[in-house]
Amino acid sequence: MVEAENAGRNIIFHNMSPSEFVDVWHGYFDLGRDYGAVQRKLSENDPVMERAIAFAPGIRVLRQDFYETLISFIISQNNNIPRIKRIIECLAENYGTPVAYREHILYTFPGARVLSSQTEESLGCIRAGYRSKYIIRAAQRVLELDIDTLCGMDSKGVRQELLKFYGVGEKVADCIGLYSGLMSDAFPVDRWVKRVMATLYPGSGTSNEEIAAFARKKFGSLAGIAQQYLFYYARENRIGIEGSDDP
């Protein structure tokens, strides 16, 4: 269990050994990437991106565990954030391992072997609906998958492998690829991102596919990071929201 403290321009990690920091958290927080260089590259000849980065320069994309990211985004389909959180918490409480932390009992994310042996009926307690069968089949496939091979693929190869998972479509594949650190050029598009792009980049296209292709062409391998800057900037300034005064 790790605690992170915001200390001005620094982040202090507690309950962590030097080896844990190097082996786990350095990669998780994407600390090996030069975000200064990323920001300079994205801002070059792009005043929109320059404003977005200046608004929240501390944003970075976490490199989260592939399996947990996979299951979490399968649960997120056609769902809202409070319900997604409840389902994941329920999944951990029922199938994870309890861990004592101070005066609390927390639960680990259940492993693929545990979930792969469940049935839709036994997962009924988490109230995931039709997603239960996706969760089970995803866990079964993960047990057969060589994660190291997946990590060595380019974005196109990773996307193709993700689309083989039962219940995973283009947008969910892009989310999984981006937030697990396997596809830095992924640009997931939902209705909110679509509105943001229509406002900030009017020529980016009208369909999700056109917008994603525009972003990959414009931002290249940094498209996923660019999306994070743009989305946060737009959300906090109510850009692309109906009835807002767009700057």
For residues 234, 236, 237 and 242, what is the CA-based torsion angle, rounded to 10 degrees? 70
Confidence of residue 247 (pLDDT cuts 50, 70, 90): very low
Query: Mean pLDDT for the chain?
Result: 91
The domain containing residue 170 runs over which residues?
A: 66-179
The answer to whether residue 29 is domain-embedded is: no
**Structural domain contains residue 20:** no
Task: Assign 3-state DSSP to the chain and report helix, strand, coil percentages, each to 5.
Answer: 55, 5, 35
Q: Mapping DSSP to helix (H, G, I), strand (E, B) and coil, where does residue 172 land? A: helix
- What are 138-154's pLDDT values in tens digits? 999 999 998 888 888 99
Residues paired with 13 in a beta bridge? 4
Last residue within a domain, chosen from 164, 179, 194: 179
Cβ neighbours for 200, distance < 8 A, ≥ 6 positions apart? 48, 230, 234, 239, 240
User: Which listed residue (85, 164, 171, 217) is catalytic?
Assistant: 171
The single-letter code of the amino acid at 167 is: G
Per-residue model confidence as pLDDT tens digits over 180-189: 999 999 999 9
Longest Cα–Cα distance of the chain, Å, equals: 55
171 is catalytic: yes
Structural domain contains residue 27: no
Q: What is the CATH number of the domain that holds 215?
A: 1.10.1670.10
Domain boundary, last residue among 179, 200, 224: 179
158 vs 208: CA distance, rounded Å? 19
pTM for the whole structure: 0.88
- 121 lies in some domain: yes
